[in-house]
Structure formats: structure tokens, C-alpha cells
Homo-oligomer: A and B are copies of this chain.
Amino acid sequence: MSRASLSGFPELTPQERIVEQYVLDHVRRTFELHGFAGIETRAVEPLESLLRKGETSKEVYVLGRLQDEPGAKRGRELALHFDLTVPLARYVLEHTGDVAFPFKRYQIQKSWRGERPQEGRFREFTQADIDVVGQDTLPFQYEVDVALVMCEVLAGLPIGGFTMRVNNRKLCDGAYRSMGIEDREGTLRVIDKLAKIGPDGVKAELSGLGLTPEQIDGALALASIQSRDTSFVEQVRALVGSNETLEEGLAELAAVIEGGDGEHMLADLSIARGLDYYTGTVYETTLDGREGFGAISAGGRYDSLVSDGKRTYPGVGLSLGVTRLVAALLADNTATRQVPTAVLVAVTSEESRVASRVVAGALRLRGIPAEVMPSAEKFGKQIRYADRRGIPFVWFPESGEVKDIRSGDQVAADPATWSPPEEDLWPRMVARKQG
């Protein structure tokens, strides 16, 4: 990824942007093929509604106008959103009359976090979210569907293997109940840190919460259960006694795994996702062999995204970290050129510029990106203009010929019928040559 002149605010070169744009187009097309409608929300929310979510409060960028008094009271100030979930909740309440429920929406936008930047952390980043939001009720099936959509997105990109780890909050809550654990939310939050602080760290923290050694062992044993199929069910049954919440969680997780794509999904009972509002299935996806890179997609089911007092709006959603994903792709991939142009139309003299414009116009009309040389120059200079940009073809209107400047091949061509090979039409993402 290109240097960032401001830490935490990455910017791409034009060539890198082509890779990012490819990802964005692919993500959007997949979401739309599955029937998700696109929306955008404003970049700002009232500070108070962002702070309601608690734990990221210190990471919010607050907006001030330049002529505001310094030290003016902090009340109904605006702040930049730090995710796309809080804005969605507000949008749903404001547009109950404009959408049909269940509301399947995607949203591809930037978010901001005013945190101190660390390795792999961004202060400005692009997210691509899908959520399905119901009115009062939401069919369970969507907890399977959103996982399938996100796996299809990722499987369509040259990122190598990836694993979507799935768990269920009800399963953990029910199992902890059976173990007699009182502080079940606290326990889950500690288990969430397992990968970071290790089993010993978890043991110490759970002990601090007042869990008995047996409860600690039980919680860790539960978190160690993983399976590609539904065999996790028997493993859980061997560990703890049954109850209604546990059974519900087991059935739901089994349904997600059975309904999955059979390739990328893994029941992993250590996955907790810190955010309190998840109430059922939770998802976390990492790139195989690059787990340290962090989750590139995460989300879950929430029983009440928002409520207007009369009705509740349950939902399930998954977020894709586009900025992080593109950073991973750019490690191994690049674009075939830095400009969209496939054909540079040469200009012999300013008097014949009109003829060059006609050729370029005819090509563009058939969807072939073409530009006209900005000034009449010797052919060598015009070919160098194309070469510096990676433009593969130069058209000479006077001879009616087009030259592939890579091979040197030059052939007679008609702008009404000639096309470049498919792979040269638009810049493409390709694996970086090994050096």
C-alpha cells in the first residue's frame, strides 16, 4: 500500500485504486445479485447517539465549525460515524415508510475512528456492510443467507483461503448457565480475548470475575470446540447439561453450518465478538495463514438494532473491511496499467485533430476507452506518451492503422469494428510478477 502522508489515512496510487475499484465493483455486484438494495447515509451523526454505544467513545471525531467559540459546550454536536450500524439504525427508523421489511440493504462507505493509529489500524477506512432488518420479527434463514453472500464475495477474490468462524451467543449463554456461571456476559468478553491473551491470561481474568476453577475449565473447554460439520453438537452435549437456551443455540449454529457453502465455514465456539448487542449467531472471518492480519469480516444477529418504543427492529448483518482487504490484495496484486485508456489516437498536425477525435469517438461509442494525443508531436513521442501510461494501442488515423506498442504489430483497422483483445479493454487486477 502506498505511503500515507497522514498516519492512519491511507491513499492509493491510481494503479492501486484500480485494484480497489475492482473489489468495490465485485462486492457491489454480488450484493445486488442477492437482492440487497444500496443506500448511503450522511457521514455525521449527533454525538449523543454515537456515544450511546459506549465502548468506542474515545475514538470519535467531533466536528466543530471554525467560528465556534473554543470550549463551547458539548451538547448536540455532530461527529463522524465510526461504523455503518449506528447510521443504519437511525435510517431504518426514519424510513419505515420507504422500505419493505425485511429490509435488505448494503452500504459501502467510509468510517472514521479518532484513535491513535497502530499497525494495521486505520483512522479512515471503507466498509461494505450487508444487513437484513425486520419489523418486530426476522426469519432465522437470513442468519444463513448473509454468511453465504459474504463467502461468495470473498471466494470471488484472489485472496487465497479464508475461514468464516461462526458461533452463537445463545449456545454460550446456555452452556454457561449449565455451568452455574453468574457473570455470563463478562465471561464471554474474556473468552473473546483468548487469541490475544492466551489461556493463562483468560484463566486469570475469569478468576477475577469470581468463576470457580471448574467453571473456568468448562468455559475454556467449550471455547476449544471447533468443527467443519455439526459434530460440535455432540462435543457440547458431552461437556454440559442441556437447557432451552443452549438447545436453541445448538440448533441455530447447526443450521448455519449445514446451510453453509461447505467450504469456508467453521463452527468455532471461541468466537464471541465484543459488542453487547449481538444475541444469536456471530461471525468472524480471517484470511488463512494471515490470521494476525485481523478479521476482514465480522458481524452477527441482534434482536433489537433499534426501537421506536412501539416496535423493535431485529437484524443480522456482516461487515467487510474493504480497506484491510485491499491492503491484503495489494501485497500480491497490481493493475495491468494506471489509466483506463486502451487506445491513444495519435495527432499528426493540429489541422487533422478532428479526424483523430472522430476515431476516438467511434471507439468510445463501442465502449473502448480512448483518448486523443493532446498536442501534435513526432510519432516516437506519442508512442512514449502511451508507453509511460501503459496504454497498449496507438491508432494512426492517416494510415488507418493501429499498433500494439508492446509487440510492435501494426495492422489496418476500422474504428467502427476493431476491438482490442478482451484482456486489454480495461485495466485488470493481475498477480504481481515475482521478482
Contacts and interface: CB of A to CB of B under 8 A. Distances in A.
Interface of A: 2-3, 5-6, 9-15, 17-18, 21, 32-44, 46-47, 57-67, 70-72, 74, 78-80, 90-91, 94-95, 98-100, 102, 104-105, 110, 112, 114, 124, 139, 141-142, 145, 338-341, 353, 364, 367-372, 374-375, 388-389, 426
Contacts of A104: 339, 371
Given A98-B2, A102-B374, A375-B139, A64 B61 contact: yes
B63 A114 contact: yes
A44 B114 contact: no
A338 B80 contact: no
A62 to B, nearest CB: 5
A39 B63 contact: no
A66 B114 contact: yes
29 contacts: A2-B98, A3-B94, A5-B94, A11-B42, A13-B98, A13-B99, A14-B37, A14-B39, A14-B105, A17-B37, A18-B37, A34-B369, A34-B370, A34-B371, A35-B340, A35-B369, A37-B338, A37-B339, A43-B110, A43-B112, A60-B65, A61-B63, A62-B65, A63-B63, A63-B80, A64-B64, A65-B114, A70-B74, A99-B338
A211 B173 CA distance: 82
A90 to B, nearest CB: 8
Contacts of A141: 353, 374-375
A80 B64 CA distance: 10
Given A70-B71, A104-B339, A38 B63 contact: no
Contacts of A43: 43, 110, 112, 124
Given A14-B98, A18-B38, A100-B338, 16 more contacts: A11-B42, A11-B91, A12-B40, A14-B105, A18-B37, A33-B367, A42-B124, A43-B124, A58-B66, A58-B67, A60-B66, A66-B79, A99-B338, A104-B339, A104-B371, A139-B374
Given A13-B98, A44-B124, A145-B374, A364 B2 contact: no
Contacts of A57: 66
A417 B100 CA distance: 30
Nearest to A101: B388
A114 B67 CA distance: 10
A368 B11 CA distance: 34
A173 to B, nearest CB: 25
A41 B340 contact: no
A359 to B, nearest CB: 14
Nearest to A364: B33
Contacts of A15: 98
B37 A340 contact: yes
A339 B199 CA distance: 47
Nearest to A255: B350
Contacts of A38: 14, 17-18, 21
Nearest to A45: B6
Q: Which of A42, A43, A91 has the most CB of B within 10 A?
A: A42
Contacts of A105: 14
A57 to B, nearest CB: 6
Contacts of A66: 47, 57-60, 62, 79, 114
A435 to B, nearest CB: 19
